[in-house]
Structures are given as structure tokens and as C-alpha cells.
């Protein structure tokens, strides 16, 4: 038995074998082990944060990670940027008939590893199998639950003109790593996805300053899209300084070859933070002290602009408008 067949989704013997030999084996914990139709967790103290994401990344294995690592880190990061402490995750698998059980096991191990690392429990799961040609190996939904301390208030409404925009590291790696792997593009330097859990760094940032007003992970649409969303929500402008943008040489080079703009390419292990000008250096240092924030930079500031534009101040002294994306540059990167 080395591939997944439709029987694995029947709810019968094969489903139970899969659940016991794979999911319980690696995900097992006190809550999951007692699961009935729902899992029961104890009372939570505080406001509760909930987020859901389906992962359809193609290919499911890529330099720097796989769909399993991505599905855990992505959901942990969504909780963390809201200021929540990630606690529980549910997992829904949609498997295409014919998928290798070895590959599925690798992915499950990877999910278990990152859940453990972030001290998050996988509390409920579901498996469905669809016929060949009705899926693409594996899609995973993860839904995350976390708790917010009373003092936390991450919201665009706190953003003011003069606040600094900080990114936690180099831009564009995840999307470009996926694209190069998918298209089998062989450049001399391999781009590695930055997919990683940012919960610890974000907790540190929030502990070091109460003037961190907003945090968002830089995913689909890239930095430019996210800044546009914030500008629109808050009715302000954003000025970004090209010379301050942390982008790796090889990312710039490949983007130029392929005609892509790294400001619109997804990361999966970077956040953009908006903090008061006074605290921005402190927050920057706090990021730099973290494993996943070494290349952090202050890249711009919030400006007054009724037209809610995001502008790039180029190294040559010009100004370029960074508009909202119209098209999907690289589909299925998460």
C-alpha cells in the first residue's frame, strides 16, 4: 500500500488506518487523542483570534519547505500578526487519488515539527480523497485559534502620519522560489523560500514597544499590495525609499530576467510593521535580534495623501506609483 486510493476517504477501515498510522502517530496530543466528532479544549482566558487558510501551493515540495510547513507557519503567522498567542490548529486534507503515502508522510512530519516548535496543538482533522485529475496531489486547510492579551491593540486605526514602515527582512524569496521550482528554471543561485514561523519575533516586538500599531505578514500580492491595502483602509499615503529596501542580489537579478517586480512577490516569513517614529529604532533592533529578522530595515513612512497612494522614491530621486495588483503574477504560491 504505497499510494492513496479513494477508499482512504470512505470513513471506513482505510480512513481509520490512515488516521492512526499517520495523523495520530505524528500529531498525537492529549486533546486529539480523545477526539470525537469535535475536540474539546478547556476554557480560554481572553479574547480569541481565529483565522483560516487553504493551501494549494504548486509544487508541494520546494526549496526551503513544503505545503505542510507552509500550512502551519502561514496560519501561525496570521494569528501572530493580530497580536494573538497561537494555541490550536485544525487540519483538513484534500488528497488526490494516487498520491504517494511516503510524500504524504513527509508533509505530515513537517507539519508536526513546526507545530511542536511553536507549541501549537493540532486538535482536529479531516481527510477527503478526490479522483485523479480532480485535485493536485494535496490541498490543506488549516484553521488557527489563539488568545489575545487584553493590552494588545493591533489596528490600522492607530496608524498616523509620521509613523515608520519597517520590514523584517529581504523581499520576494518565497514566490520566486516557487516559480523557479515549478518552471524548472536553473539559475546559478537557487532561491530558497523564506517560509518560517514568526510568532516568537512578533511577541518580542510587542513586548519591546507599545507603539507598534500594525503588523501584517507579507504574502500574496507582496509588499506593494499590502501597503496599498493599509493606505486604503486608513485613508493615508505611504512613501517607500528604494535605497532602503532589503532585496537579495539574486532575487533582483532573476526578477529582471523574468520581468517581475519583487515588491509584488510573496514572502512567507516576513512582516511589515508600522510603529511610531520614536520607537522605530528600538523595534528595528528587536527584529534584528531575532533569527528571522536579521535583515530588517526601516523602509519608509506614513505620509498625508488624500488619494491614498503608495509611492516609491527611487534611488535616482524620482517617484514611482506602486499601484494595487491587477493580475496574479505567480498563481498558487500558497
Nearer to a copy of itself, 71 or 290 (CB): 71
Nearer to a copy of itself, 198 or 239 (CB): 198
Nearer to a copy of itself, 136 or 308 (CB): 136
Cα torsion angle, 200, 225, 92, 44, sign: positive
Whether the ω angle into residue 194 lies within 30 degrees of 0, i.e. cis, is no
Least CB distance to a copy of itself at residue 132 (A):
11
Least CB distance to a copy of itself at residue 145 (A):
7
DSSP string, 226-265: HHHHHHHHHT-EEEEEGGG----HHHHHHHHHHT--GGGS
β partners of residue 298: 166
Least CB distance to a copy of itself at residue 166 (A):
17
Nearer to a copy of itself, 166 or 313 (CB): 166
By C-alpha distance, which of 153, 142, 85, 80 is closest to 110?
142
Least CB distance to a copy of itself at residue 189 (A):
27
By C-alpha distance, which of 202, 152, 156, 199 is closest to 48?
152
Could you give the CA distance from residue 46 to residue 73 in angstroms, rounded to a whole number? Answer: 23
Nearer to a copy of itself, 235 or 331 (CB): 331
Least CB distance to a copy of itself at residue 331 (A):
5
Least CB distance to a copy of itself at residue 281 (A):
25
How is residue 3 annotated by DSSP? B
Nearer to a copy of itself, 230 or 286 (CB): 230
Could you give the CA distance from residue 231 to residue 302 in angstroms, rounded to a whole number? Answer: 9
Amino acid at each position: 500500500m504505497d499510494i492513496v486510493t479513494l477508499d482512504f476517504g470512505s470513513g471506513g477501515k482505510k480512513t481509520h488506518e490512515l488516521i492512526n498510522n499517520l495523523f495520530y502517530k505524528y500529531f498525537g496530543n492529549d486533546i486529539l487523542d480523545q477526539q470525537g466528532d469535535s475536540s474539546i479544549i478547556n476554557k480560554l482566558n481572553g479574547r480569541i483570534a481565529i483565522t483560516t487558510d487553504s493551501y494549494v501551493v504548486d509544487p508541494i515540495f520546494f526549496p526551503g519547505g513544503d505545503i505542510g510547513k507552509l500550512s502551519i507557519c502561514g496560519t501561525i503567522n496570521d494569528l501572530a500578526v493580530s497580536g494573538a498567542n497561537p494555541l490550536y490548529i485544525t487540519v483538513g486534507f484534500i488528497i488526490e487519488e494516487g498520491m504517494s503515502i511516503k510524500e504524504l508522510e513527509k508533509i505530515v512530519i513537517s507539519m508536526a515539527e513546526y507545530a511542536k516548535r511553536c507549541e501549537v496543538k493540532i486538535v482536529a482533522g479531516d481527510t477527503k480523497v478526490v479522483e485523479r485529475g480532480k485535485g493536485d496531489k494535496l490541498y490543506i486547510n488549516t484553521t488557527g485559534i489563539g488568545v489575545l492579551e487584553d493590552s494588545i491593540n493591533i489596528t490600522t486605526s492607530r496608524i498616523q502620519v509620521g509613523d515608520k514602515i519597517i520590514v523584517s527582512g529581504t523581499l520576494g524569496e518565497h514566490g520566486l522560489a516557487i516559480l523557479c521550482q515549478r518552471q524548472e528554471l536553473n539559475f546559478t543561485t537557487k532561491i530558497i523560500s523564506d517560509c518560517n514561523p514568526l510568532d516568537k519575533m512578533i511577541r518580542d516586538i510587542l513586548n519591546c514597544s507599545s507603539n507598534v500599531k500594525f503588523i501584517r505578514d507579507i504574502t500574496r500580492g507582496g509588499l506593494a499590495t499590502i501597503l496599498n491595502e493599509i493606505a486604503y483602509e486608513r485613508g493615508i499615503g505611504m512613501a517607500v525609499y528604494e535605497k532602503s529596501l532589503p532585496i537579495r542580489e539574486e532575487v533582483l537579478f532573476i526578477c529582471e530576467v523574468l520581468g517581475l517586480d519583487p515588491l509584488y512577490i510573496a514572502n512567507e516569513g516576513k512582516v511589515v510593521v508600522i510603529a511610531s517614529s520614536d520607537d522605530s529604532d528600538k523595534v528595528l533592533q528587536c527584529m534584528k535580534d531575532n533569527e528571522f529578522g536579521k535583515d530588517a530595515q526601516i523602509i519608509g513612512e506614513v505620509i498625508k495623501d488624500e488619494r491614498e497612494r503608495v509611492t516609491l522614491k527611487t534611488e535616482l530621486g524620482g517617484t514611482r506609483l506602486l499601484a494595487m495588483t491587477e493580475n496574479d503574477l505567480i498563481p498558487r504560491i500558497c
